Structures are given as structure tokens and as C-alpha cells.
Structure 1
Amino acid sequence: MTTAADIMHPDAQWVPATESLDRVAQRMRDLGVGAMPVSDPGDNERMCGIITDRDIVVGCIAAGHDPSHVTAGDMCQGTPRWIRSDADVDDVLREMEGNQIRRLPVINQDKRLVGVISEADLAHHLSDAQLAQFVGRVYA
């Protein structure tokens, strides 16, 4: 059985909800990623959302806001989605397809972030038929 841990990109990093978007963008650049999970302001590192480079550009800059005065937490909307590291790849696909999301944080049994699954990760591990079905459902 292929699990989320088998296909995820390991060593994902949090960005605190209090971090300004200009700093978030710099971290994304330095890490070579287009999205980062956002942790709540408390000490327990619980996910309160995920922020993408597109969120920063469209939701902040294009809306005329100053990214040095808007925080990652300000941009988080909706219920954060995640999956456990021991979940089957079919569960990963259901979660991503059902919520039409392209990146899915992965947590361990202690609810700590251990990785992120992206479309690129799926492309490396799915059959062509599975990948076509995923794309059809997420981009529908």
C-alpha cells in the first residue's frame, strides 16, 4: 500500500500566522516553493491554513495592500485541509479532488507537519489514468 508519507515532499516548513506577506514571499523564494502551511499564533503549531504565492499576488498586492502590513493569518480563509502520513494514496486523492486543492499538508500521529503533497508529487507516483482523473476533478 502506497501512503501519503511515500509520496509527500518531506521537510515542509510552517510560516507563523503573524508573519508579514513580504517575509512569507521571501521564504517561499528561498525554499523554492509556491505554498506554505500557516501555523496558529499559539505555541502548539496547529495549522490554521495554507498560503500560496498566488494568494499574496492576487489577494494582497493586486488588491492594493502593502505586503509588509498584511500577515499570513490575514490571508487564511476556510477550513484547512490535511492528511495523516499513514493515509492510503486513494485517501489523498479523495481529499484533494473532493476539495479541489493542489497542495495537501501531511501530519504525523502527533499532529506535527511532516510534509506536503503537491501535484508534482502525484505526477511521480500515479499512473497516467489516475493522474488524468485527478486533473479532471481538481480543475473541473
Structure 2
Amino acid sequence: MQTPTSMQIRISWPVGHLDASLADTPTSQAPVKGLPLASTAHTWGEEVYFDTGMSVSRETGAQEVVEPGAVAFWTDGDALALPYGPTPISQGDECRLAGPCNVLGRLDGDPCLLATVRDGDPVRVELLDA
């Protein structure tokens, strides 16, 4: 099922970047208002996450298991979570997040590019012009 997208963002780190399409959800509005955002990457298995400095409420449709390339907001950690493969708590090959997350959209490129992000890398998120 395709979700209508309202905005595009770019997530950059020292050796690459990925663009993402965000759906028009209450959660996606909050981080976008704070862009551009500079943070520090953390890795957890095959997931990159980073603090956004903002809190949002968990939506009713929050998910713990998502597809690779999902852009999710981890409400318990005030962080954007970008899974591209299994995490330490995954069962099999699934992308299992640390807890229920609000899914904001999807990465437009190959999510496996996130494997080049190193723990502690600077990360920048910016809004792309429509």
C-alpha cells in the first residue's frame, strides 16, 4: 500500500547519503520542523539511529517489526531509527526495532548503504526542496 508523501529528506554521513520520502503523519511533521538537524549516529546490529532532540507521542499504528529501509521514530529514545537488516533482538532476518516506533516513510535508495555509517559518525538530516 502506497502512502501519500508530503516531503523528502536527505540523511547524510561522512561517506554517503540517502534520500527518504516521508508520509504526511503527525509524527513526521515534528522532526521536519526541526530541520536541518545535526546528530551523532549510533549503530545497533543492522540499524542506524540518532537523537533528534524532540519528543513525540507513540501513534496507534506503531510497529516493532518493519521492512528494511523504513524510516521510523523511536518514541522511547526520541530518535530516528533506520533499519536495513537484523538487529540483536531480531528473529531470523526481520528488522526488529528496540520497541514500537512510528513509521514515517521509506528510504528511496538501497538501505544497505547504511552499512557504511560508523558508530559516532556525524549525521545531518535536511529537507529537500519540492
Report the TM range for the smaller structure's normalisation. Answer: under 0.3
Higher relative contact order (CA 8 A, sep 6+): 2
Q: Which has the larger radius of gyration?
A: 1
Name the one with the larger strand percent. Answer: 2
Q: Report the TM-score, using the length of structure 2 for normalisation.
A: 0.25
